[in-house]
Amino acid sequence: MKLDKATIEELVVRPGKPAALDARSTASIKVDWLGATKAKKRKELAEEDLRGFVDELEASQERLWANGTHALLVVLQAMDAAGKDGTIKHVMSGVNPQGCDVTAFKQPSAEELGHDFLWRAAKALPARGRIAIFNRSYYEEVLVVRVHPELLARGGPLPGKGLAKNVWQDRYEDINAFERHLHRNGTRVVKIFLHVSKEEQKRRFLDRLDDPAKYWKFSAADLAERGHWDDYMAAYEQALTATSSAWAPWYVVPADHKYTLRALVGGIVVHSINEMDLPAPRLAPEGLETLARAKKELLAE
Amino acid sequence: MKLDKATIEELVVRPGKPAALDARSTASIKVDWLGATKAKKRKELAEEDLRGFVDELEASQERLWANGTHALLVVLQAMDAAGKDGTIKHVMSGVNPQGCDVTAFKQPSAEELGHDFLWRAAKALPARGRIAIFNRSYYEEVLVVRVHPELLARGGPLPGKGLAKNVWQDRYEDINAFERHLHRNGTRVVKIFLHVSKEEQKRRFLDRLDDPAKYWKFSAADLAERGHWDDYMAAYEQALTATSSAWAPWYVVPADHKYTLRALVGGIVVHSINEMDLPAPRLAPEGLETLARAKKELLAE
């Protein structure tokens, strides 16, 4: 039973309503895969759904590209080990890489810190016809920077003009305006929070520490950040509540089971492109005549 | 008699008030150079003022650079032949080019049209410590594009979500939010409209047609745009009225006399940096000790 629109829309943080992360499951969705009885079975059904979405996504991307009028921006945010990289790999596997760019936003460079906090994201925006995936994003500026305010970029607001009420409220407002501007100019913005539990993160960190093939994935810094878990959850709760909008919704996706996570993210991406309501590429009658002439010419060679 | 703050502030379009371009002189300012009696004399006084501002600007830019916390963006907009290029050349002549970038926004490229209308401007924003001059800017998107709406970029708003009230109002709103974001992040945005009369433009065009050394400056396209003079004035009137804000004011500078124009632009730029209220670079006591040790070490060599 394929994930339907209603199931996907249940994951949205309604604009103006609290994100209520505490109340949301990190393990399953309300309407789970129907017909499944055991964990094994659910996994199989979810994987089948994912394969369906990957196929659909291939066709959707071609339509996006052929039209060349609109773009899709997918923002992925999560705690460490929630599954961002694996999700990108599995969900986007069928997509033509010529029409899709993934940008991972790591610690900002000196040049990036020298500009406003949206600058490096603005440079990486997708052109019409393309998909961009942000693996972390400008939201780090109201997440990790909120948990560690000493990271606030140098400079800050100018004196006078009575603008700075509160740096975080200002940033939410700036982000909302930025995303609204993108929407108005033809880019669909979709934001996905991979909602993992603290217990599941522990299990995945231990996996990395126990398996030599996974050692490289472990970083002591990640463990230090785990120590700020509650602060991060509070920062996510506020950020998602303040920035889920009609034009750029936040989806909260349970991430404790990778198969659920991946099927849902696949569903969200396909759903988002379908919502753009792009026409299938069609030629005007003159175009068809040109094709006919070209065919004739080639055959006459 | 040097131009004072009050004289400069009279040029500002008050936020929320009409720009009232019709009512503003293209030739002189209310409080003209005191003590001047004839045109010759005014010119001399204005040139003296400009030299003073150029010197001040050199020192101001050094303070901006040494602090490295804030930036200045100067947006210049005007009809053809109003004097943008000459103003940049004369006003910015004393500035260290290492800390100042001029970007001329011409017809957008295919890559630029592929993005939202603020994208190419965002890429050219000044880093902390620097000055950027935009010779034309994202305002062309509500000026030339408004006069020739067939230039509206492909794509446009996405279906649904009830956002598009009016493409121009949307663009004004997006521009205001963009500039407020820059202000909050440490960039002072100053916008200057070079207000030239239709008669003076005619005289300057004829100059270009009569002097072989100036032939290259003339373009038939400029003459065609002159045919839309009233439409341009209406577009400027609306844009300046809608986007002059506490955080990014518009200045209307009479441009029929180049000496007035240049002195005023020099005054506006110096005034804008002074308003940032940047501290003179100072070393902490430890820094002074480091200097003393370095000096001792060098002398002991």
**Domain boundaries of chain A, sorted by first residue:** 5-299
pLDDT at B140 over 60: yes
Does pLDDT of A245 surpass 50? yes
The pLDDT value recorded for residue A219 is: 85
Distance from CA of A173 to the nearest CA of B (A): 9
**How many C-beta atoms lie closer than 10 Å to residue A176's C-beta?**
18
Which of A116, A117, A181 has the CB atom closest to B118's CB atom?
A181
pLDDT value of position A36? 61
Cα torsion angle, B18, B19, B22, B28, sign: positive
- Which residues on chain A are in Cβ contact (under 8 Å) with B156? 69, 184-186
Would you call B184 and A178 a contact, using CB atoms and an 8 Å cutoff?
Answer: no
Q: Looking at per-residue confidence, does A75 or B151 come out higher?
A: A75
Beta bridge partners of B252: B193
Q: How many CB pairs under 8 A join A and B?
A: 143
pLDDT value of position B282:
75
Contact B157 A70 (CB under 8 A): no
Pick the residue from chain A with its C-alpha nearest to B274. A159
What average pLDDT does range B91-110 have in this prediction? 90
Q: Would you state the pLDDT for residue A37?
A: 61
Q: How far away is chain B from the Cα of A155, in angstroms, using its nearest Cα? A: 4
Average pLDDT over residues A12-24: 97
pLDDT tops 70 at residue A164: no
More confident of the two residues B98 and B135: B135
Query: How does residue B94 score in pLDDT terms, banded at 50, 70 and 90?
Result: confident
Give the pLDDT score at A160. Answer: 47
Interface-testing mutation among A64, A111, A115, with chain B (most B C-beta atoms within 10 A): A115
Mutate which: B64, B138, B161, vs A, most A CBs within 10 A: B161
Which residue in A176, A184, A53 sits closest to B161, CA to CA? A184
The yes-or-no verdict on residue B161 having pLDDT over 60 is no
pLDDT at B162: 41
Chain A residues lying within 8 Å of B276, measured CB to CB: 158-159
Q: What is the mean pLDDT of chain B?
A: 89
Question: Are A156 and B186 an interchain contact pair (Cβ–Cβ within 8 Å)?
Answer: yes
Q: How would residue B165 be classed by pLDDT, with cut points 50, 70 and 90?
A: low
* DSSP state letters, B184-198: HTTEEEEEEEEE--H
Beta bridge partners of A132: A73, A101
- What is the CA B126 to chain-centroid distance, rounded? 13
Q: Lowest-confidence range among A279-288, B27-36, B89-98?
A: B27-36
Question: Which residues of chain B neighbour A177 with C-beta distances below 8 Å?
Answer: 173-174, 177-178, 180-181
pTM of the model: 0.89
The answer to whether B155 contacts A70, with C-beta atoms less than 8 Å apart, is yes
CA dihedral A137, B132, B128, B51 (to 10 degrees): -170
> Which residues in chain A have their CB less than 8 angstroms from residue B64's CB?
none
Q: Once rounded to an integer, what is the mean pLDDT over residues A129-157?
A: 87
CB contact (8 A) between residue A70 and residue B184: no
Determine which of A120, A185, A190, A276 to mutate to test the interface with B (most B C-beta atoms within 10 Å): A185
Which residues of chain A have a CB within 8 Å of the CB of B127? 111, 114-115
Place A1 in a pLDDT band, splitting at 50, 70 and 90: very low
Distances (CA, A) of A232 to A27, A34, A84, A170, A214: 19, 34, 17, 19, 25
Q: Which residue of B has its CA nearest to A274?
A: B159
Locate the chain A residue with the closest alpha carbon to B171: A181
> Which residue among B114, B158, B185 sits closest to A117, beta carbon to beta carbon?
B185
Q: Compare CB distances from B119 to A125, A170, A177 and report the shortest one's residue.
A: A125
Mean predicted confidence (pLDDT) in A230-253: 97
Interface touch A127/B118, C-beta < 8 Å: no
pLDDT higher than threshold 60 for residue A213: yes
Of A70, A72, A116, which to mutate for an interface test with B (greatest number of B Cβ within 10 Å)?
A116
b/e map B211-223, b = 16+ CB within 10 Å: eeeeeebbeeeee
Distance from CA of B84 to the nearest CA of A (A): 26
Contact B128 A115 (CB under 8 A): yes
Q: Out of A57-71, A263-277, B206-220, B277-291, which region has the weakest mean confidence (pLDDT)? A: B277-291
CB atoms A128 and B119 under 8 Å? no
Q: What is the pLDDT of residues B256-278, one digit of tens each?
A: 999 999 999 999 999 999 988 88
Domain A5-299, what architecture? 3-Layer(aba) Sandwich (3.40)
Is pLDDT above 80 for A284? no
Å from B159 to nearest chain A CA?
7
How far is CA A289 from each of CA A81, A298, B170, rounded to the nearest angstrom? 55, 14, 40
Whether B196 and B256 have beta carbons less than 8 Å apart is answered as: yes
For testing contact with chain B, the best of A181, A182, A190, A275 (most B CBs within 10 A):
A181
Q: Is pLDDT at B154 greater than 70 in this prediction? A: no
Q: What pLDDT shows up at residue A229?
A: 97
Per the CB < 8 A criterion, the answer to whether B204 and B119 are in contact is no
